[in-house]
Structure 1
Amino acid sequence: MAEPSPPAVILDRSQLADNIGAVARVMANFGLSDLRLVNPRDGWPQDRAWATASGADWVLEGVRVFDTVAEAIADLNTVYSTTARPRETRLPVRTPRETARILWDDTASGLKAGLLFGGERAGLETTDIALTAGITTIPIDPRHHSLNLAQAVAINAYEWRTLVLDAPPPRFREGDPPASNALLVGMYEHLETELEAGGFFHPPEKKRSMSQNLRVMLGRAAFTEQEVATFRGVIHALAKGRGRVLARLAAQRRQDADDEA
């Protein structure tokens, strides 16, 4: 069996160059190389990262920088958020070992996978967690649950490396693979645009949480590319039907106004 492609590591709003370098170091230790940065506080590249990477230059030289999490994971099929607390989302919560097995199985099927990590101070935004397939929580002692960024990446990368060395037979997915995150986000935005036009987001200040809940709910369905296309067709048909109704109502109002005149 060909070795599945290692998952990408995505760091959201990382603050310190030293931490980015330390992450690159542990990625190289465990055979990962695809490092993606989302809006790093001090920009990129940063000399301090190379100083703390201890020679893992190839990881840092391959870094790609993105403005948003959605852009950073657009080409991936399976992404897990790594966070110490599940927040407000009803997503499956797994250990790094369980997540590594899922990523192993998916990448053995030819899918692209990733692990999303939050910034050192604030962690991940709930809206970004909602874009992922589930949550990975490291089972540490609650009396002291603070881990630095590189430690969190190292634990998850270790679990992946263990599978590489053991090479267990993959449990292949049945049916078509899930759609990429780019297709899913396009579907979410299409639905939200039409729902807003139809007055669904009321009161307006709740739009953010309502959109987030919709994305989590739909994300659990693990849409395939064909299912995304079908669902977007449904949205289009409903919006078109609403437009026809509004046009008829407008025509009726004009007719009523003409009759009164």
Structure 2
Amino acid sequence: MTGRDGGAPLEPIGNTPVVILVRPQLAENIGTTARAMANGGLFHMRIVAPRDGWPQERAWRAASGADRILDAATVHETVDDAVADLHHVFATCPRPRHIVKQVMTARGGAAELRAATNRGLRVGLMFGPERAGLDNEDMARADGLIRYPLNPAFMSLNLAQAVMIMAYEWWLAADQTPPRELMTNETHVATKGELENFMGHLVRELDECGFLHNEQKRPGMVRNLRHFFTRGEVTEQELRTMHGVVRELANKRRAKV
């Protein structure tokens, strides 16, 4: 299905959690929630007793192209109806009180969701209304609670932000992106041979200009230069640039002789 703006289609990827918005108050918040869901690969939205009814055009305007999620969203009168076909439901809760339930971080909750969906179970994530959050009756329908470990002095999130945290953790739980990567574009990380070729060029010119004239200090100075170029992942393009720098400096020096 293509979004109303004619953009690329957004389709569910495998068995993904259902996002259940309980008594949401603003259409714009529902729209920005759909946008956050799409960022993290969550595509199923259920809306329980929206304050201003449904559908509302303002939600689509705020969704930034995540129209497929809003188009397919279903409306339910009660939480019980919204979760009836699910096997596990987790509820987000900033301050659980007088409740005996398992409480997880967003990361822990995402891992539990992944484990359940990998077993073929249908799961849901429940979010409360913007002003007050879920009440005790809502949370009684949940198997566990998710509480974000944020600054305890200020834990205020809007609805889309709360959903974005879980969408990100859901995506991250299965993502294979390395935590650190050097972007080399058109070049490549220099091999030891390419680096040694440059070092030979550099040391020859430094010997010729007299920079390494102190025989006692020479080995240490060369090692320091080598350490400088091996401290990070120098690229082949960078070495070519440095060759040019050394060559040009040498040519200018020779021209003055």
TM-score (norm 1): 0.62
> After superposition, what is the alpha-carbon deviation per residue over 1:30-68, rounded to whole angstroms, capped at 9, x for unaligned?
111100000000000001100110010000000000001
Say if 1:4 and 1:104, in contact at 8 Å, map to a contact too. no
1:36 is paired with a residue whose SS is strand
> After superposition, what is the alpha-carbon deviation per residue over 1:189-219, rounded to whole angstroms, capped at 9, x for unaligned?
xxxxxxxxxxxxxxxxxxxxxxxxxxxxxxx
Say if 1:4 and 1:108, in contact at 8 Å, map to a contact too. no
Give 2:15's aligned residue: 5
TM-fit CA distance, 1:122: 1.6
CA RMSD, Structure 1 to Structure 2 (Å): 1.3
Which residue type is aligned with residue 92 of structure 2?
T
Give 1:53's aligned residue: 63
Which residue type is aligned with residue 77 of structure 1?
H
TM-fit CA distance, 1:86: 1.1
1:97 is paired with a residue whose SS is helix
1:159 matched to 2:159: no
2:161 is paired with a residue whose SS is helix
TM-fit CA distance, 1:164: 2.8
Question: 2 CA distance for matches of 1:88 and 1:128?
Answer: 14
Count of residue correspondences: 165
2:21 is paired with a residue whose SS is strand
Which residue type is aligned with residue 103 of structure 1?
L
Structure 2 unaligned residues grouped into runs of 5+ = 1-12, 178-257
Question: 2 CA distance for matches of 1:83 and 1:47?
Answer: 29
Question: 2 CA distance for matches of 1:54 and 1:88?
Answer: 39
1:115 matched to 2:125: yes
> After superposition, what is the alpha-carbon deviation per residue over 1:87-133, rounded to whole angstroms, capped at 9, x for unaligned?
22100110010011111001100100010000011211101101111
Give 2:30's aligned residue: 20
Question: 2 CA distance for matches of 1:60 and 1:99?
Answer: 25
Question: 2 CA distance for matches of 1:107 and 1:4?
Answer: 9
Give 1:145's aligned residue: 155
1:105 matched to 2:118: no
TM-fit CA distance, 1:4: 4.9
Give 1:33's aligned residue: 43
> After superposition, what is the alpha-carbon deviation per residue over 1:120-162, rounded to whole angstroms, capped at 9, x for unaligned?
1121110110111110001110111101110000000100001
Question: 2 CA distance for matches of 1:101 and 1:4?
Answer: 16
Which residue type is aligned with residue 151 of structure 2?
D
Give 1:130's aligned residue: 140
Question: Once superposed, which parts of structure 1, at least 4 consecutive aligned residues long, lie more than 2 Å away?
Answer: none
Say if 1:4 and 1:110, in contact at 8 Å, map to a contact too. no
Structure 1 unaligned residues grouped into runs of 5+ = 168-261
Say if 1:100 and 1:160, in contact at 8 Å, map to a contact too. yes
Percent identity reads 50
Question: Which protein has the bigger helix share?
Answer: 1
